[in-house]
Amino acid sequence: MISCPKCSEVGSIMKAGYVRNKQRYVCKDCNYFFTLSNPDQITPRKNSRRHQTTIIDIARSTGVSNSTVSRALHGHADISPETRNAVLEMAALLDYQPNQLAYNLVKSRTNTIGMIVPEFTNSFFPNIIIGAHELLTEAGYNLTIMQSNESYPIEVSNTKAMLANRIDGLLISLTQETNNYDHLKVFEKRGIPLVLFNRVCDYVSAPKVVVNDFEGSFLAVEHLILNGYERIAHLGGPLNLLVSRERLRGYRAAMEKYGKSIEENMVIQGMFSQQKARIYGKYLLDLENRPDAIFAVNDSSAIEIMLMALEKGIRIPDELGVVGFSDNPESAYIGPGLTTIRQPTNAIGKTSAQWVLQLIESEEEMILPNEKVLKTELVVRGSSRRKDF
């Protein structure tokens, strides 16, 4: 008695013509075609619970070898159109889906780029993801995204997972907690392409994609000064991040250039969070001699400040100028509109992705500029435009 190699059924086997001079059978139960080239192939493969059809199934059913099937499937040359068609037909018939896992294992590449971002509650990182995603998809790569949630331990475990999954390259933007970079150096040591973006650091020799935070901040503060604000506070980010330091530097440079003295109690550096923004914002607005303008490290903080000013009845922009950074979607609409520095988020994603692909495709260690700096843009809205200026 012949049993179906796929579903083990014995009662429903029928003859189904000849292939390459061998009797072909079909199992009416599971619609599986096969030949019996060799008696011990009659026994079904074990562990067949939810068996997905493999190359071997196709090989058996068509009466050719695995390698021939593989070649046919990949449109290799040196294969007779006749057998190729037979294989392709059978593949369709058996509803064959290649097993990427096995492919990846033997090729030891996955065609997948990993991306780790600290958060995606703001639209900032999602927009970067969109950019990277577009470019990678076009290039035939998959993108696996992980989120570190601004936590260093999670970031470390994320990189471990990426490593374990043998991604071909990694795009990463660091958490605000990250001060140790050993988990990134592993990538260097392994020769796995790595690109840092936005939240970068100096201590790892990987390419970095950033924006001109210094200039952006300089322009922002200069704009406030040119609108007649004198005592400008800065609500900054955590200083272990280069972005925070650069934006602080831009602030100081602008103040200095225009001969404004900086009151150090009005320069605050802190973690990114809505709660922190409220605390620092309250502090600044409650100062006995409160600033007449605030340059915030990002739009979320700036918006918190605007809302608090509203509550307190402080008029914007007359009594208080506010400028943010990043141009969140809500910034255009809040109150008189929030003046801000627009970041080319899509381009950040695209640039980073392109770079990591270049690193992958270039066999040699490339000698490359280690940093790409994209341009920001000052977007002037109502929160900083005084009528009398």
Provide the binding-site residues for DNA, judged by CB under 7 A: 45-47, 51-52, 54-56, 63-68, 70-71, 73-74, 77-80, 82-84, 96-99, 101-103, 105-108
Positions in 141-170 near a second copy (CB under 8 A):
142-147, 160-161, 163-166
**Are 229 and 216 spatial neighbours (Cβ–Cβ below 8 Å)?**
no
- Nearest-approach distance from CB 134 to a second copy, in angstroms: 8
Residues across the chain: 389
- Which one of DNA, a second copy, none interacts with residue 228, CB within 5 to 8 A by kind? none
Tell me the C-alpha distance between 389 and 380, whole Å: 14
| Burial readout 105-141 (b: 16 or more C-beta within 10 A, e: otherwise) | eeeeebbbbbbbbbbeebbbbbbbbebbbebbeeeeb
257 or 312: CB nearest a second copy = 312
Q: Tokens at residue 123, please?
A: 């639209």
- Which one of DNA, a second copy, none interacts with residue 332, CB within 5 to 8 A by kind? a second copy
Signed CA dihedral, 196, 323, 389, 233: sign only: negative
The residues near 323 (Cβ < 8 Å, ≥ 6 apart) are 220, 221, 223, 224, 293, 294, 295, 296, 302, 338, 339, 340, 341, 383, 384
242 or 353: CB nearest a second copy = 353
Q: Which of 8, 104, 269, 273 binds a second copy (CB under 8 A)?
A: 104
- Which one of DNA, a second copy, none interacts with residue 120, CB within 5 to 8 A by kind? a second copy
What distance lies between CA 288 and its chain's CA centroid? Answer: 44
Residue 350 makes contact with a second copy by CB under 8 A: no
Q: Are strands 32-35 and 22-27 parallel, antiparallel or unpaired?
A: antiparallel
Q: Tokens at residue 283, please?
A: 């502090």
The residues near 99 (Cβ < 8 Å, ≥ 6 apart) are 52, 54
- Nearest-approach distance from CB 156 to DNA, in angstroms: 19
Q: Which x/- pattern over 191-230 shows residues binding a second copy (rule: CB under 8 A)?
A: x---------------------------------------
- Nearest-approach distance from CB 164 to a second copy, in angstroms: 4
Q: Where do contacts with a second copy occur on this chain (CB under 8 A)?
A: 50, 52, 95, 97-102, 104-105, 110, 120-121, 123, 126-127, 129-130, 133, 137, 142-147, 160-161, 163-166, 186, 189-191, 303, 328-330, 332-335
